[in-house]
């Protein structure tokens, strides 16, 4: 039996919407007590002074990319899960764009089995405890076979296999197919996520259209490449009423369209990624290939609108969209590099320092869009931090500094604009 007492920790509970200083007693992976002060403890209790530390519900990532299967040189499933745990995540959801794509039940079972084998092999779980440092793994099922966008997968088989929802995580080419998907998936009651992007408008663009794109000299991507696709999707949702999650929202106009849809009662949720909240087109002048994202970083007005959308509830959650690439893949010209960046281990510290420490977000607001709200988008529940509940928690030190380098990262890749820099804020432990 393991007993831990966290003394005078700042408890941020987005479920009960409380932010308080308290003692928290955890026994065998369960919260036994939470009170202003706990003194009645056993002699074998491990006591930890947590003044200045933050304890919150576990973080939940809506979607990220695993290199395995197919691209293990970028990221294995184990390194992916270790990076997620190091970043404070207790639940992660893998996109189906692996090789082969996750378009059949066997691949879903394979990923879950590998995660469970890793826990057993390292002795991190036993009959006496349900605690594990590795997060729960959820798997998105592909909508089309091999993500080719031509033939639909067997939705019933994937649903039975336990996928968290359905997505191809890429821009669609056929609105007629999108309509069929919404019709076919309606009875399954699982999330269906789309990334709205009109490739005929984005073409070969690399950077959000605007003055900065003109200065930097990269091909522009108009905001309409996203907004026209969102408008079309919302029309289909209005007609069919299948709930939809809109991924990777990146423009101010998109926020307006989604706000109107929600006001009209359409069953939609939406997310943006953490990097789209922190960086904008002015940062791209460095030509750092880890700033090559798809959709591209927005103009400053887009970032302001996204932050307002998150705070106001129009954007339901912040996703990480972790995408690992090898050094060789990213050391190219900006336009030739694959789009994407790592983020599982960096998102919470950088969001906290840039949004909470500056006073733009409250700690509770940030934790909500990283924890219980993304869980709700996946039709899952996050339990409040109270006596009797299982401990699904993240302990975070907002003041600890560390250097983003190979020695300090669990992910196998280093494609981030913060690589080599010192940042403030680090996750100390998770309970899962």
Going along the chain from its start, the domains and CATH numbers come out as: 58-381 (3.20.20.140)
Rounded distance between C-alpha atoms, residue 348 and residue 320, angstroms: 10
Residue 333: partners with Cβ closer than 8 Å, 6 or more residues away: none
Task: Give the CA distances from residue 114 to residues 1, 123, 183, 412, in Å, rounded to whole numbers and listed in that order.
Answer: 27, 14, 34, 18
Decide the pairing of beta strands 18-27 and 3-13.
Answer: antiparallel
Model pLDDT, residue 129? 46
**For the chain, the helix, strand and coil percentages under 3-state DSSP, each to the nearest 5:** 35, 25, 40
Rounded distance between C-alpha atoms, residue 341 and residue 87, angstroms: 15
Q: Which residues pair with 12 in a beta bridge?
A: 19, 56
Model pLDDT, residue 122? 67
Task: Give the CA distances from residue 31 to residues 26, 35, 90, 387, 432, in Å, rounded to whole numbers and listed in that order.
Answer: 5, 11, 16, 5, 12
Residue 309 DSSP SS3 = helix
Cβ-in-10-Å burial (0-12, 13-18, 19+) of 37 comes to exposed
Handedness of CA 174, 305, 365, 266 (dihedral sign): negative
Q: What is the CA radius of gyration of the chain?
A: 21
Decide the pairing of beta strands 136-141 and 165-166.
Answer: parallel
Catalytic residues: 321
Whose tokens are 């959308």? That residue is 309
Model pLDDT, residue 123? 62
**Count of alpha carbons within 13 Å of 307, Cβ hemisphere only?**
20
Among 294, 312, 192, residue whose Cα is nearest residue 250: 294
Task: Give the CA distances from residue 201 to residues 17, 236, 250, in Å, rounded to whole numbers and listed in that order.
Answer: 42, 20, 15
Rounded distance between C-alpha atoms, residue 6 and residue 50, angstroms: 6
**Residues 291 and 338: beta-carbon distance below 8 Å:** no
Q: Name the strands in the sheet holding 59-64, side by side, starting at the edge strand that comes first in the sequence.
A: 59-64, 89-94, 136-141, 165-166
- Which strand (E) or helix (H) includes residue 230? helix 224-240
Whose tokens are 């690992």? That residue is 324
Model pLDDT, residue 131? 44
Among 15, 12, 3, residue whose Cα is nearest residue 376: 15
- Please report, in tens digits, the pLDDT of each residue of the chain (432 residues total): 789 999 999 999 999 999 999 999 999 999 999 999 998 888 899 999 999 999 999 999 999 999 999 999 999 999 999 999 999 999 999 999 999 999 999 999 999 999 999 888 766 544 444 445 799 999 999 999 999 888 999 999 999 999 999 999 999 989 999 999 999 999 999 999 999 999 999 999 999 999 999 999 999 999 999 999 999 999 999 999 999 999 999 999 999 999 999 999 999 999 999 999 999 999 999 999 999 999 999 999 999 999 999 999 999 999 999 999 999 999 999 999 999 999 999 999 999 999 999 999 999 999 999 999 999 999 999 999 999 999 999 999 999 999 999 999 999 999 999 999 999 999 999 998
Model pLDDT, residue 249? 98
End-to-end CA distance of the chain: 16
Model pLDDT, residue 83? 97
Cβ-in-10-Å burial (0-12, 13-18, 19+) of 14 comes to buried
Rounded distance between C-alpha atoms, residue 26 and residue 34, angstroms: 9
H-assigned helices in 297-419: 300-312, 327-330, 347-351, 363-370, 372-377
């Amino acid at each position: 039996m393991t007993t831990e007492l966290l003394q005078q920790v700042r408890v941020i509970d987005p479920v009960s919407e409380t932010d308080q200083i308290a003692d928290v007693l955890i026994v065998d992976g369960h919260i036994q007590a939470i009170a202003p002060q706990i003194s009645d403890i056993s002699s074998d209790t491990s006591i930890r002074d947590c003044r200045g530390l933050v304890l919150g519900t576990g973080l939940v990532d809506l979607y990220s990319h695993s290199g395995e299967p197919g691209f293990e040189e970028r990221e294995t499933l184990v390194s992916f899960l270790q990076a997620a745990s190091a970043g404070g995540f207790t639940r992660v959801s893998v996109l189906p764009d692996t090789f082969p794509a996750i378009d059949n039940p066997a691949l879903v079972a394979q990923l879950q089995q590998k995660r469970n084998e890793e826990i057993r092999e390292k002795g991190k779980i036993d009959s006496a405890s349900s605690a594990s440092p590795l997060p729960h793994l959820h798997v998105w099922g592909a909508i089309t076979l091999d993500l080719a966008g031509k033939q639909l997968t067997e939705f019933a088989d994937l649903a039975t296999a336990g996928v968290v929802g359905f997505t191809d995580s890429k821009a669609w080419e056929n609105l007629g197919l999108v309509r069929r998907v919404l019709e076919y998936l309606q009875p399954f009651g699982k999330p269906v996520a789309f990334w709205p992007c009109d490739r005929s408008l984005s073409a070969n663009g690399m950077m959000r259209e605007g003055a900065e794109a003109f200065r930097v000299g990269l091909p522009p991507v108009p905001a309409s490449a996203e907004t026209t696709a969102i408008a079309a999707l919302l029309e289909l949702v209005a007609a069919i009423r299948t709930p939809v999650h809109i991924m990777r929202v990146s423009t101010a106009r998109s926020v307006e369209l989604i706000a109107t849809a929600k006001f009209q009662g359409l069953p939609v949720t939406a997310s943006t990624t953490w990097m789209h909240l922190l960086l904008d087109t002015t940062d791209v002048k460095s030509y750092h290939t880890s700033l090559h994202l798809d959709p591209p970083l927005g103009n400053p007005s887009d970032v302001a609108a996204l932050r307002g959308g998150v705070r106001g509830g129009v954007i339901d959650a912040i996703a990480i969209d972790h995408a690992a690439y090898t050094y060789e893949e990213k050391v190219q010209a900006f336009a030739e590099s694959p789009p994407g960046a790592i983020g599982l281990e960096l998102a919470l510290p950088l969001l906290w320092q840039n949004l909470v420490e500056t006073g733009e977000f409250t700690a509770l607001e940030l934790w909500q869009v990283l924890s219980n709200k993304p869980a709700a988008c996946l039709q899952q529940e996050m339990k409040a931090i109270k006596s009797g509940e299982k401990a699904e928690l993240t302990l975070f030190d907002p003041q600890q500094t560390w250097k983003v380098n190979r020695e300090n990262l669990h992910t196998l890749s280093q494609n981030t604009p913060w690589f080599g820099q010192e940042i403030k804020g680090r996750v100390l432990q998770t309970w899962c």
